[in-house]
Structure 1
Amino acid sequence: MKWLATICLAVWPGVGAALELALPEGARLDAERNVSGGYDLPVAPFDGQKVPSMRLSGQVRFEVWRVESGFAGTSGLADALRDLLEKAAFRVELDCETDGCGGFDYRFNTEILPPPEMFVDLSDFRVISAVRVGPAGREGVNILISSAVRAGLVHIVHVVEDTNADPVTLVVPETSGAAAVFSPAIATGDSDALARALEAHGHVVLQGLTFETGSARLDAGEVPVLVALAAYLSDHPDARVTLVGHTDSEGGLDKNMTLSKRRAEAVRDYMVQELGVGAGQLDADGVSYLAPVTTNATPEGREQNRRVEAILLTAD
């Protein structure tokens, strides 16, 4: 296997030896963001109330890499990256996977770039946190590796304590002078279009779902987009999909987290009970208002943010 070894994470003044991490050749940088202020580096799995962390004040870099042809699974890549960290004199504080990390609770109690920049398969991810001490202070790295459709995603957070460094501003991709707006694929009752979008993008917004205000009860009647999704799952018996509920930003986080998950569960129950989809092909979760697709400052924006998405986890 050929490897790419040019991911240099130590880029700020006062840092000693640069840290390079190796990913399989062809790995693609999908997202990057630099911020100042600090980061809560996870040091233990979710303990029932929170993810125990070590506060590192300083400059923080987030990166998301997509690994396609060379991705052989989360464990193999994680083992290789842990070995590189230890050779670079980092002390590993946390190494866990999936339920051992806390699953859903770990994912939504740590700082991770939101979709579409990063998707986390809640049934297949591994986390490594490590720290070393350099001339400028402590340096921390958090790596989350998750499987995606025919690929792996590697989310890297690198924080350096350096009070003398200049502030780092947000990195915005060059798009005619403005930040790009994410427009997710929208699935309707067209079965062929849904299949193409789901396999090309890995997730789609399910259009045409109607819930009563503040309720998780799905309005009665046939829902064409769910019929199309059921047909896809019937044609692909090895495929597995997670239904993810999203809300707008009105109301508290906990209340919306519960509501978003209940709405996803209502869609799952409808597909199993009314459309005959195998329960093993469908999971359901909610993310509250943590992954908006547009502004919540307008009624139109809030309406777009209230949605249920289907995320394709595995396909034959």
Structure 2
Amino acid sequence: MAWKLWDSITIARSEPRKRPEQLQPKTHRRPHRRLLRAALLPGLAALAPAAQALTLAFPGAATATASRFESPTSYRVAIGAWDGSGLPTRLFEGALEQTAWRIIDPEPRRQSLTTLAILQPLRAQLLQLGYAVLFECEAAACGGFDFRYASDLQPEPDMH
């Protein structure tokens, strides 16, 4: 059975027309387990104090493996790739809900649930809800593990 792992931040919004956020794709391959991790939403960033949580439909059977909620809090969202000296960020304040997801590939023999197959429908849902993409990068262009460790994401082992 092939597993896909997803890390996301679900962020509430307070103003219907002003919702800055970021979709951040990131992949990491573990061939022995056939895991893919994508950190698309560590930046969906309209960190708002009192609003409804965002709910997305995943392209496969998804199970939350870890979650944290903080309110009020501050969160630095990546707005650029790791450049060797640091990670460009933008500070947001409000409520933060961060969840790691394990997504099961419905067709593990074909490996139909690729990182892109996970990200495309989620990105489309967010754009349809009025969100905008502030920054995207792919694999090594993000800065590798420097990018991951410079971001405030779910800790090990929740990301696996």
Deviation sequence 1:245-296 (CA, Å, 0-9, x none): xxxxxxxxxxxxxxxxxxxxxxxxxxxxxxxxxxxxxxxxxxxxxxxxxxxx
Deviation sequence 1:63-119 (CA, Å, 0-9, x none): 011001336111121111111111111110111111010112111111111111113
Match of 2:150 in 1: 109
Q: Which segment is superposed worse, 68-77 or 23-32?
A: 68-77
Amino acid at match of 2:145: F
List runs of 5+ in structure 2 lacking aligned partners: 1-9, 14-47, 107-111
Matched, 1:98 2:139: yes
1:53 to 81, 89, 98: 89
Amino acid at match of 1:97: E
Deviation sequence 1:126-157 (CA, Å, 0-9, x none): xxxxxxxxxxxxxxxxxxxxxxxxxxxxxxxx
Name which one, 1 or 2, has greater alpha-carbon Rg.
1
Match of 2:64 in 1: 29
Matched, 1:44 2:80: yes
C-alpha distance in 2, partners of 1:99/1:13? 34
2:99 to 54, 63, 71: 63
TM-superposed CA distance for 1:40, in Å, is 0.4
Pairwise CA RMSD: 2.3
List runs of 5+ in structure 1 lacking aligned partners: 1-7, 120-316
C-alpha distance in 2, partners of 1:108/1:73? 23
TM-superposed CA distance for 1:10, in Å, is 3.5
Alignment of 1:197-212 (within 5 A): none
Q: Secondary structure at the match of 1:46?
A: coil
C-alpha distance in 1, partners of 2:57/2:80? 25
Moved beyond 2 Å, runs of 4+: 8-16
TM-superposed CA distance for 1:54, in Å, is 0.9
C-alpha distance in 1, partners of 2:60/2:84? 39
User: How many residues are paired up?
Assistant: 111
Amino acid at match of 2:87: V
Deviation sequence 1:230-259 (CA, Å, 0-9, x none): xxxxxxxxxxxxxxxxxxxxxxxxxxxxxx
TM-superposed CA distance for 1:39, in Å, is 0.6
Match of 2:25 in 1: none
Identity, % of aligned pairs?
31
Q: Is the 8 A contact 1:19 1:88 kept in 2?
A: no
C-alpha distance in 2, partners of 1:46/1:91? 21
C-alpha distance in 2, partners of 1:9/1:100? 25
TM-score, scaled relative to structure 1: 0.32
Distance of aligned partners of 1:103 and 1:13 in 2 relative to their CA distance in 1, 3 Å threshold: closer
Match of 1:72 in 2: 113
Deviation sequence 1:195-228 (CA, Å, 0-9, x none): xxxxxxxxxxxxxxxxxxxxxxxxxxxxxxxxxx
Amino acid at match of 1:33: R
Higher helix share: 1
C-alpha distance in 2, partners of 1:54/1:32? 23
TM-superposed CA distance for 1:30, in Å, is 0.6
Q: Is the 8 A contact 2:87 2:150 kept in 1?
A: yes
Distance of aligned partners of 1:89 and 1:113 in 2 relative to their CA distance in 1, 3 Å threshold: same
TM-superposed CA distance for 1:50, in Å, is 1.2
Alignment of 1:230-309 (within 5 A): none
